[in-house]
Amino acid sequence: MVDTGEFLAKLTEKGFNFYTGVPCSIFKTLIRKLEQEDFKYIANTREDEALGFCTGAQLAGKKPVMVMQNSGLGNSINILSSLDLLYKIPILMLISWRGETKEDAPEHWVMGESMTKLLDSIGVPYFIFDSLGDVDKATTELEETGKPVALIFKKGSLE
Amino acid sequence: MKTQEAVSKIISLLKGDEVVISANGFISRELHDTGDSERNFYMIGSMGMAPSIGAGIALNSKKKVVVLDGDGNVLMNMGALATIGNLKPENFIHIVIDNGVYESTGSQKTVSPTIELENVAKAAGYTTTVKAETIEELESALVSEYTGPVFIRVMVEAGKREVGRVQVSPEEITERMRKYLS
């Protein structure tokens, strides 16, 4: 388990400086910090809309991050495929892994099972977050490919 | 007023250092047809996202951002109006070219005739909202230099003309826009 403050310090160290998203309970502490501290976090209405904001910010020279529940990946597929992957816009996507097991609520089962396959099939690289080193890996991938990259968070991986 | 006339009028009134984001379909094609420029970002897919992309730029640049949207597009991502109305980027002009149909897919009807889109934007928090039904009203709204976010709904006739596809590749559009904004 990684401390949320240390995680955000790591993102800052890596140059990330524009934050958007739609909440997930797995990111409760993360979003509270983003809202309360000087991150100018933008609360978007949908995940695809957050990707749109990140796209504009990236064109204007920012290094954007979006936070979302994996259910929102469903809302994001068209924008990833016809905007960010096509136009080569690097965005760090922090995605929670609801429905990793059937112990989670049933509305998360199908996406919990399919998320990594969906990312694989549209060509978004991903890393399962376990330590701050994974931020380094994701950032390197982002910079090398110039495309969106996902960091996936299981329940309890941030405190 | 036709879409072509509306787009030409808008472009003719720009000073030159703006950013123009165009929605997918015939709006991007019409913008491209007025003359290609590095300041243009032609969104060829991702329907609904033009104002979100534009706001992401407006919040991080001093340049004025002009979004050329369509009624079908804005109806698909009305949540963006809420976010933009909340953030209030002053350098943001959202122009919706409203022909009442999804022209690129065969002119199927949109629900825009029964919706006062300009009032939706006003309720969402845009500072100035205008409905322009003539070319003179469009010109008057554009030269007024309102503080953003501004929403201008331009009523145009349905009916497309032959106009070519955008000839610039998506990656090229990205690269030159990054350069233009740096």
**Res B161: pLDDT:** 87
Kindly report the pTM of this predicted structure. Answer: 0.97
The residues, ordered by sequence, that sit 6+ positions from B130 with a Cβ below 8 Å of its Cβ are B118, B137, B141, B150, B151, B152, B153
Segment A31-70, tens digit of pLDDT: 999 999 889 999 999 999 999 999 999 999 999 999 999 9
Segment B173-182 mean pLDDT: 98
In one letter, which amino acid is B156?
V
Q: How far is the CA of B20 from the CAs of A49, B14, B65, in angstroms? A: 18, 10, 6
Distance from CA of B136 to the nearest CA of A (A): 31
Pair of tokens at residue A135: 């931020």
Position with higher pLDDT, B162 vs A148 = A148
The span from the first CA to the last CA of chain B, in angstroms, equals 36
How high is the pLDDT of residue B143? 93
- In angstroms, what separates the C-alpha of B58 from chain A's closest C-alpha? 8
CATH architecture of the domain formed by A4-153: 3-Layer(aba) Sandwich (3.40)
pLDDT at A80: 98
By Cβ distance, the residue of A57, A59, A82 closest to B46 is: A82
pLDDT tens-place string over residues A85-133? 999 999 999 999 999 999 999 999 999 999 999 999 999 999 999 999 9
Segment B114-143 shows an average pLDDT of 97
Distances A148 to A10, B94, B126 between C-alpha atoms, Å: 18, 27, 31
Closest CA to B90 of B150, B139, B131, B41: B150
| Residue of chain B whose Cα is closest to the Cα of A83 | B46
Q: How large is the average pLDDT for residues B55-81?
A: 98
| 8-state DSSP, A84 | I
Cβ neighbours of A53 in B, within 8 Å: 52-53, 55-56, 59, 83
Averaged confidence pLDDT in chain B: 97
**B50 near A55, Cβ under 8 Å?**
no
B46: left (phi over 0), alpha (psi -120 to 50) or beta: left
Q: What is the pLDDT of residue B160?
A: 81
Question: Residue B85: CB partners within 8 Å, gap ≥ 6?
Answer: B121, B123, B124, B125, B126, B149
Asked if B83 and A51 come within 8 Å (Cβ–Cβ), the reply is: no
Whether B41 shows a pLDDT value over 90: the answer reads yes
Mean pLDDT within B48-72: 98
> Do A79 and A48 contact (CB within 8 A), yes or no?
yes
Average pLDDT on A16-29 reads: 97
Enumerate residues 6+ apart whose C-beta is below 8 A from B13.
B139, B142, B143
Where does the pLDDT of residue B11 fall: very low under 50, low under 70, confident under 90, or very high at 90 and above? Answer: very high
Q: What percent of chain B has pLDDT over 70?
A: 100
- What is the per-residue pLDDT for B155? 98
Chain segment B75-84, per-residue pLDDT in tens: 999 999 999 9
- CATH topology for the B3-181 domain: Rossmann fold (3.40.50)
Could you report the predicted ipTM of this complex, rounded to two decimals?
A: 0.97
